[in-house]
Amino acid sequence: MASDAVIPLASSEGFPVFKGGRIGVLLLNLGTPEATDYLSMRRYLKEFLSDRRVIEISRLIWWPVLNLIVLTKRPGPKGRDYDTIWNKELNESPLKTTTRSQAEKLARIIDEGTPESAPLITVDWAMRYGFPAIRDRLKVLQDAGCDRILLVPLYPQYAAATTATACDKAFEALMAMRWQPTIRVSPPYYEDPVYIEALAASLRQSLAGLDFEPEKILASFHGVPKSYVLKGDPYRSHCERTHTLLCEAMGMAPDKLMLTFQSRFGTEEWLRPYTDETVIALAKSGIKRLAIVTPGFSADCLETLEEIGEENRGYFEENGGEQFAAIPCLNDSPKGMDVISHIVRRELRGWIDI
Question: Tell me: the pLDDT tens digits for 203-250?
Answer: 999 999 999 999 999 999 999 999 999 999 999 999 999 999 999 999
Pick from 21, 56, 85: which residue ends a domain? 85
CATH of the domain at 285: 3.40.50.1400
My answer on whether 197 and 79 are in the same domain is no
Residue 6 in domain: no
Full domain range(s) for residue 37? 33-85
Burial class of residue 41 in the structure, from the number of CB atoms within 10 Å of its CB (0-12 exposed, 13-18 middle, 19+ buried): buried
List residues bridging with 92 in a β-sheet.
87
Residue 170 in domain: no
Residue 353 in domain: no
Instruction: Output the CA–CA distances (angstroms, integers) from residue 118 to 20, 24, 138, 341, in the order listed.
Output: 13, 13, 22, 17
Pick from 85, 116, 149: which residue ends a domain? 85
pLDDT confidence tier of residue 261, bands split at 50, 70 and 90: very high
| Weakest mean pLDDT among 88-92, 119-123, 312-316 | 119-123
My answer on whether 81 and 197 are in the same domain is no
pLDDT digits (tens, 9 = 90+) for 42-98: 999 999 999 999 999 999 999 999 999 999 999 999 999 999 999 999 999 999 999
Amino acid residing at 323 = Q
Residue 207 in domain: yes
Distance (Å, rounded) from C-alpha 16 to C-alpha 193?
A: 47
Distance (Å, rounded) from C-alpha 119 to C-alpha 354?
A: 11
Residue 1: pLDDT over 50: no
Residue 156 in domain: no
pLDDT confidence tier of residue 8, bands split at 50, 70 and 90: low
pLDDT at 117: 66
Residue 62 in domain: yes
CA dihedral 261, 267, 268, 269 (to 10 degrees): 40
Residue 201: pLDDT over 60: yes
Percent with pLDDT over 70 in the chain: 95
Residue 4: pLDDT over 70: no
In 87-99, which positions are buried (b, 16+ CB within 10 angstroms) versus exposed (e)?
A: eeeeebbbbbbbb
DSSP 37-79: SHHHHHHHHHHHHT-TTT--S-HHHHHHHIIIIIHHHSHHHHH
Number of domains present in the structure of the chain:
2
Pick from 68, 85, 102: which residue ends a domain? 85
Residue 116: pLDDT over 80: no
pLDDT at 12: 62
Residue 243 marked in a binding site: no
Residue 132 in domain: no
pTM value? 0.94
Residue 354 in domain: no
pLDDT at 353: 80
Instruction: Output the CA–CA distances (angstroms, integers) from residue 226 to 166, 229, 264, 267, in the order listed.
Output: 21, 5, 11, 12
Residue 238 marked in a binding site: no
